[in-house]
Amino acid sequence: NMTNKISHSDALAANVKVHSALASSGEYNRSPHFLPENQTKVRALLKDLLRDQFTGSKPHSLLDMGCGTGFIIKLTHDLVDIVHGIDITEAMMSQVDLSPGNIELFRSAAESTPFESGSYNVITAYSFLDHLVSYKPVLEEAFRLLAPGGVFYSDLNPNRFFTHQMADVENLNQSELPEVVSREIRGSLHNGEHYQEMYGIDAETLENAEPIKSFESGINPYEFTEFARELGFSHAEFQPDWFLGQAVVTSEQSNQAVDTIDGYLRSILPASLGLYKYLRFILIK
């Protein structure tokens, strides 16, 4: 296992360094997942999930792991009674909007939180798990913290099948690749170099801040859901998201074209799994 290259404390230090720089420069809040259409999509998804799981009643408490500048907090604070956010980067947490009044933040690593067992109905982890050396201790902690019937939702996790697909394409040594494919190869296989050029964050620090992405090529969704079931989750599913070139199809064609392509690719799963960049996980205790 290549992740043994880096210790837990080195990964934490690299994350604080990278995310402090991205937060102070304002660059983090310009990440693609902050686009209004994605916020609308994620909020709708969470609303449906909570309505299905907590029929007719508002869930009492939600914990957002790796809350960053408050992406999930902003989308959920009115759907639950109280929201707690945890993160290790002060520079990001200082940007969370606390004005709704039912939000409290804690500086804590996600593997070992100060909260009592069974204290939450919902736990979220958005664009977070790949920043860990291993997701297993965090899933164990989430299982401990959830009340029976509680939901764990995690999204924007790098899909190992996609990374492997990009590596296979790169290894073909074709001189002329479509631009959209070259861009994804850079992003999924050479992200460190890209960040060094764009933001002056050195490549090694960035790679150490995303150990699961850098050293394990992302998450294998079958291993993840199997581990969740072993922990005792009664339901564990994954959904692939964001097919190769989806942004290009959106801007050059239409949302309808996106839906058509996405619908077709989903109809041929798992054969098309390597064409999806991200994974969403929904676990129920």
105 token code pair: 């933040």
Look at residue 149 and give its three-state secondary structure: strand
Q: What does the angle CA 178 – CA 181 – CA 131 come to, to the nearest 5 degrees?
A: 165
Q: How many CB atoms lie within 10 A of CB 13?
A: 15
Rounded to 5°, the CA angle 59-63-69 comes to 125
**pLDDT tens, N- to C-terminus, the chain (285 residues):** 444 578 888 888 888 888 888 878 777 777 778 888 889 999 999 999 999 999 878 999 999 999 999 999 999 999 999 999 999 999 999 999 999 999 999 999 999 999 999 999 999 999 999 999 999 999 999 999 999 999 999 999 999 999 999 999 999 877 789 999 998 998 888 776 766 666 677 878 878 888 888 888 999 999 999 999 999 999 999 999 999 999 899 999 999 999 999 999 999 999 999 999 999 999 999
| Residues in Cβ contact with 149 at an 8 Å cutoff, skipping those fewer than 6 apart | 53, 54, 121, 284, 285
- For residue 95, give every residue at least 6 positions away whose Cβ sits within 8 Å of its Cβ, in sequence order, or none: 23, 29, 69, 70
Give residues with Cβ within 8 angstroms of 285, minimum separation 6. Answer: 143, 146, 147, 148, 149, 150, 151, 152, 232, 233, 234
